[in-house]
């Protein structure tokens, strides 16, 4: 290699490493559990403390409705973080945060015990917020938060409302089926009812709660986004009960669906 080439290569290396060194203090993305959870280790020593940070905020939202969330550190000072969502749009409220690659991370001078941000879901289903944070200093330890589930219902849940009131309770076969990763489940209520619509796996464990609230009479459709859930056969179960009825009188119907990835 000629002398000139060596010098320009060295200069290039210097510029690159400077960019890297300056890039990381103002945050890093792609290290939450959403992306495999490599966290802040590797580059920062200090123990991984599970649940060091906690996400709080609304656990149910409608598509397009912004929710305000807080990331709080359990002990010490929050000096850095990475916040990600399974879908939708994150935006900062705290000025020490900045948006990069669709995730939120620190900009500069983040100190305190919490930061605030908003999340606006774009699809209905069981969605998830993820966060990783670090405390005190580069060696102060870091940790992932527990994954924070949010049930997102369509903007107008009565998406396929009919003119006339359905005569009977019913739960239709989801469509498409098999599906990946989204499917629509439609059900009809002859009168308003307390509705629970859940998805369980073959051994009866709940994998998603799609609806858990009072819903008006009519035919309703809800979209389920099953990204993050393994392929397989699942059951979806509708339970609808009028206020005046006892649990024993509830309408219950179960159907199968097939997620193929
Ligand atoms: C790929 C390597 C890498 C990862 C992963 C990483 N950092 Fe850093 N971080 C750096 C580098 C490099 C610096 C700047 C040089 C230095 O200060 O050591 C830095 C600096 C910082 C600073 C500036 C303040 C200080 O003490 O110097 C904070 C705060 C910070 N990182 C937080 C985090 C948090 C929080 C995470 C995990 C969510 C994280 N980092 C993950 C490489 C990384």
Binned average pLDDT, 10 residues per bin, the chain of 261 residues: 48 41 68 90 81 92 90 93 95 94 89 94 88 87 91 62 68 92 90 92 91 88 90 95 74 93 89
**Domains in the chain: ranges and CATH:** 27-153 (2.60.40.4060), 170-259 (2.60.40.1930)
pLDDT at 157: 52
Q: What is the pLDDT of residue 134?
A: 92
Which residue's CA is minimally distant from atom 35 of ligand 1?
A: 80
Helix residue ranges per DSSP H, 147-203: none
Distance 95 CA to ligand 1 centre (A): 19
Cα torsion 48, 51, 56, 60: sign: positive
d(CA 179, CA 192): 30
State how far Cα 257 lies from the chain centre. Answer: 22
Signed CA dihedral, 98, 88, 147, 62: sign only: positive
Query: Is 218 exposed, middle or buried, given 0-12, 13-18 or 19+ CB atoms closer than 10 A?
Result: buried
Pocket of ligand 1 (CB under 6 A): 21, 24-25, 28, 31, 39-40, 42-44, 79-82, 106, 132-134, 137-138, 142
Give me ligand 1 centre to Cα 45, in Å: 10
Measured in residues, the chain has a length of 261
Our mutation pick for probing the ligand 1 site, out of 48, 49, 80, counting the most ligand atoms within 8 A of Cβ, is: 80
Distance 200 CA to ligand 1 centre (A): 40
Q: How far apart are CA 145 and CA 31, in angstroms?
A: 12
Q: State residue 229's pLDDT score.
A: 93
Verify cis geometry, omega within 30 degrees of 0, for the bond prior to 103.
no
- Residue with the smallest CA separation from ligand 1 atom 39 is 40
């Amino acid at each position: 290699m000629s002398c000139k080439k060596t010098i320009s290569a060295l200069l290039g290396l210097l510029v690159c490493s400077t960019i890297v060194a300056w890039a990381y203090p103002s945050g890093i993305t792609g290290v939450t559990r959403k992306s495999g959870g490599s966290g802040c280790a590797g580059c920062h020593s200090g123990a991984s403390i599970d649940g060091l940070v906690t996400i709080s905020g609304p656990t149910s939202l409608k598509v397009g409705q912004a929710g305000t969330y807080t990331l709080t550190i359990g002990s010490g000072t929050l000096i850095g973080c990475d916040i990600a969502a399974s879908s939708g749009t994150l935006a900062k409220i705290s000025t020490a945060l900045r948006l990069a690659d669709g995730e939120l991370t620190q900009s500069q001078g983040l100190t305190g015990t919490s930061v605030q941000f908003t999340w606006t879901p774009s699809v209905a289903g069981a969605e998830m917020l993820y966060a990783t944070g670090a405390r005190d200093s580069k060696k102060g330890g870091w940790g992932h938060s527990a994954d924070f589930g949010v049930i997102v219902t369509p903007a107008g849940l009565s998406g396929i409302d009919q003119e006339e009131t359905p005569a009977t309770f019913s739960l239709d076969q989801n469509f498409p089926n098999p599906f990946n990763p989204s499917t629509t489940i439609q059900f009809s209520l002859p009168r308003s009812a307390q509705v629970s619509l859940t998805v369980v796996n073959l051994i009866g464990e709940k994998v998603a709660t799609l609806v858990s609230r009072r819903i008006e009479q009519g035919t309703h459709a809800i979209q389920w986004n099953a990204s993050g859930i393994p392929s397989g056969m699942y059951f979806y179960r509708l339970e609808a009960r009028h206020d005046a009825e006892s649990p024993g009188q509830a309408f219950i119907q179960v159907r199968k669906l097939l997620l193929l990835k």
